[in-house]
Structure 1
Amino acid sequence: MRELHHSELNQVNAGILPIVATVFKVIGGIGAVASIIDFIISD
């Protein structure tokens, strides 16, 4: 029973991790763009 639960957990992680990675990339990209814009505006 525990092995089944573990494999199900792995399937869930395999589905979620790429999405989480993409979200973090998008947030990082927005942060970078925002800091560049902020830098330009403050000049």
Structure 2
Amino acid sequence: MIFAMQIHDSNKRSKEMAKGLGYEERKDIIYFRKKDNDDF
């Protein structure tokens, strides 16, 4: 459960990061960043 919450949290953060970089909210970018966060 905690792990799932961490993924949700990092997903939210990567969305904000993507917006900050000027990307539109694209599912494949979010998914790619989420996959990176799974390495932790």
Bin the TM-score by the shorter chain. Answer: 0.5 to 0.7
Per-residue deviation, 1:40: 0.7
Unaligned stretches of 5+ residues in structure 1: 1-20
Out of 13, 23, 37, the residue aligned to residue 33 of structure 1 is 13
Identity of aligned residues (%): 4
Q: Aligned partners of 2:12 and 2:2: how far apart in 1?
A: 15
- In the TM superposition, structure 1's runs of 4+ consecutive aligned residues that sit over 6 Å from their partners are none
* Structure of greater Rg: 1
Higher helix share: 1
* Residue-pair matches, total: 23
Q: Which has the higher contact order (CA 8 A, sep 6+)?
A: 2
> Please, what TM-score do these two structures have when normalized by structure 1?
0.49
Distance of 1:26 and 1:36 partners within structure 2 = 15
* Partner of residue 23, structure 1: 3
CA distance in 2, matches of 1:31, 1:39: 12
- How large is the Cα RMSD of the aligned pairs? 1.4
